[in-house]
Structure 1
Amino acid sequence: MPGKHKGKLKVFLGYAAGVGKTYQMLVEAQRLKAAGHDIVVGYFEPHGRAETIAQTTDLEFVPRAKFEHRGTAFEDMDTAAVIARRPEYTIVDEFAHTNVPGAERTKRWQDVVAILDAGIHVLTSVNVQHIESLNDQVWQVTGIQVRETVPDWVVQEADEVVMVDVTPRALVHRLERGVVYAPEKAKAALEIFFTEANLNALRELAMRQTAHQLEERREEALAAPKPVGVGQERILLWLTPHPSTAMLIRRGRRVADYLACPCAAVYADSEASSVEPWLNICANLRIQASPIATASDVHKAVADYARANGISQLFVTRNAPNVSKLVTLARDMQVTIVAERVRPA
């Protein structure tokens, strides 16, 4: 839900590099500056794109922070300096970026939240493949596992999301002309990632994401507040050490968002260290994960916990131990067995 922070967040969403997210963000920055607003550039990645660089003319840049890690010098956004400068607006490019070692925060989106909490409005850019819950769908489509992600809630709480769009064919032509990447890099990109099939699928994901958020906001504006109680769906995820659990979490979060219902997770207390990576994903997606004392019967413990907490839908992976036993014990709930997706060759 928008309006959670003192500052306002505007996200320029695209489906691939080169669609024009940063360019449009800078056009907006120039418009705001011309209207008399105080705006600075907190971080901008030029990628050698002349047209985009031209849009930074006359904009004030906050100097980057310098870091050294293992003898190598790095530069990154100086979030503290942006906040100390106290502009009305700041530009923060590449929302999903992982900060360099030594930075105060691990991820750039965390820096953006800090800037928003300081009462500064932020314009930022991100591609749809970096949204956490879409990670598995993107891999299924492209065969590429995106490592840098942004939690869904950060985008959902944005005050405005603008989809920046060009046709896949036009984007391919931009690559071929060297507008997006240098010729050598563009050739490799066209062969691996920027195929028309991939771009069409990613574009559809971006359109669905934008449409879903618009629909959510329309419903929020029209609907009266609904009391939590009888009739509301509640989703519970059973976390196990199996790698497919990451996909289970993202799927559960996605379904819960579409149903506008609570989503929680449980795991056996004896497996706490084994499921730690999944607990991090849960935290990013704002899913409360709770350990349960399983004694000798984990299936009964999961079913009992679900029943005691009014769960209507229980999500498990196909690789969880003895899934059929859990299905039998949870006959009064809808049990969804999530199969691990295998990308077609």
Structure 2
Amino acid sequence: MGRQADLLAMQPIAMQLFIKSILTDRLAHGYLLEGARGTGKKRTAKWLSQTRFCLEKSDDELACGTCNNCLRIENDNHPDVHWLEPDGNSIKIDQVRELKQELSKRGMESDRKVLIIDSADKMTVQSANSLLKFIEEPDGGMLILFLTASPQQILPTIQSRLQPVSFRALPFEAFVSDLIAQGILEQKARVLASVAGNAEQATTWNEDEWFAEARNVTVKLYEGLHHQGVDPILLIQESWMPVFKDKTQLHLGLELLLLLYRDRLHLSLNDDYRPICMEQASMLKQDILRKSLTDTTAEMEIILGAKRKLDSNMNTQLLMEQLVLKIQGR
């Protein structure tokens, strides 16, 4: 499967718009690609760049991905594809001036150019205003792509001159497939895709030993609550609290715990359901034989209640001990 097909599966609405615009020669001069991190904005920007320079394109594959130009764009070394990204915390006026000087020259290999501004919301007011006239009156062969996860931070005068294209959060299975393609095992990819907000976060957690330990402790807590595992109160004191040291980490811990109960709920309702927690599937299938739907939903509500209390000043160890006692008391 080529990049075009991958992106179509990931962002069908955005990609159908671009494909139709290219085939009918109606591609706008500038677009604002907006959406959360990990939704494919950068990959789409590269693909759009490749469609401008591909040597082997067809109506079915607008960028072959394998010709010399496509490979150079993929590796960020095509002379007529220009990237602008934050230098530190912002995109500064000096960066824009240097870029405009470069873009004022003739294309190195053709009359076409692409300008991709990554994290465009990081532009200072001065740098954004400096680009304004350039965006209003671009060179005829220029394609301008602004990428942002925070479109509200882009100056309205800039937004009004670009065509917005929204990138939606990835469908779960597409997110999982994306992580598997990065070399992450499916059983871990399904968990990561369930709790990470984007691919970047998922990749970071995959490489973090802390996340593996967090997942391990969460499963042990569930086993202690419902099987012959470590006493849950003891586990909270000796294992859980040393791992989940602040409210952000504890929030993730409760999300990981909730995944097991959600799997149990769905397994109760659907024999064909594929669990998120694949490694615990056998245990969870045993649990649905002795736990009613009422039990499962009530225990999930206890966990959700604990999550709601995280924003208060309640002692987090006390919060977790109360959660354990409430579930055990059912």
* TM-score, normalised relative to structure 1: 0.31
The structure richer in helix per residue is 2
- Bigger Rg over Cα: 2
* TM-score, normalised relative to structure 2: 0.32
